[in-house]
Amino acid sequence: MRILVTGGAGFIGSHLCRRLLADGHEVLSADNYFTGSRKNIHDLLANPNFEALRHDITFPLHVEVDQIYNFACPASPVHYQYDPVQTTKTSVHGAINMLGLAKRTGARILQASTSEVYGDPEIHPQTEDYWGRVNPIGPRSCYDEGKRCAETLFFDYYRQHKLDIKVVRIFNTYGPGMQLHDGRVISNFIVQALHGEDITLYGDGSQTRSFCYVSDLVDGVVRMMQSGPGFTGPVNLGNPSEYTIAQLAETIIRLCGSRSKLAFKPLPEDDPRQRQPDIGLARKNLEWWPSIPLEDGLRETIAYFRRLLDTPPNTAKGANR
């Protein structure tokens, strides 16, 4: 099939492009390179089945495709709060444009939504039938509410125009290909540990997250796209193993062989206290669950960042010798 991946030069998008090419498809990546990078897809550019297009999905796109994976949107607080109006436009106008494209071409379309639609949840773990607890006017709202509105649009197109839709809610994902300074907790901690700097924790470190390795996540996304037409989602995709932020920091310090210490700062506004997916729906309908343990995934991710920083094992500033 000919498949469009918006945000195809981003962290998850580039991994998804590789998977789809390996599965024998023709892949068109559309990315405005605000947070994505051509470096992420450099190894794909010579592939005759791959095409890279610089495009902002807040403007219509006229191509012929069989499937659309809509992944275009900044996903870390540092990036989505940099230009919050544009973040909302990307989620809302972008969804409208991609849904319009799917309607015209008859393509199946998948929306990469987020666990942030649950906000600071009152139930734990989070199930797909939970409506969430989101501040509509806070500093994170551009992302949280933008993604919630995108889900609304997808289901309205499904009901009104009988569009073939799929919606996944992605929980924290990590792995090789993350940016050095993207503001996500795992990349922040690894870079600080490799430099021997203090590890910055917000709050007391007791807030929890669940971390899914990128290859596991991509497999779940592809399974969702391939699932039967009667299953629209939304479906949670993430690793149900839950860790406190302090546990994560200590694990990264140990795996990096670093002497970094923990440094605590005030908790940002609207930062969720707990985040853990209930993946029962994905297990039942997609026969999907993560297979990569956290420490195994962290070792691969640390090795990737060492290559970026040109920092050999156990010789980083402040590392154990």
Residues with a known catalytic role: 143
The residues that bridge with 258 in the sheet, in sequence order, are: 319
DSSP string for residues in 50-105: EEEEE--TTS------SEEEE--S--SHHHHTTSHHHHHHHHHHHHHHHHHHHHHH
Tell me the backbone φ, ψ of residue 122, rounded to 5 degrees. Answer: -95, -15
Tell me the chain's radius of gyration from C-alpha atoms. Answer: 19
Residue among 69, 72, 27 at smallest CA distance from 47: 27
- Cα–Cα distances (Å) from 246 to 38, 311, 318, in that order, read 34, 24, 20
For residue 125, cis peptide bond before it (omega within 30 degrees of 0): yes
Q: Collapsing DSSP states into helix, strand and coil, what is residue 259?
A: coil
Phi and psi for 193 in degrees, rounded to 5?
-65, -40
> 260, 217 in Cβ contact below 8 A?
no
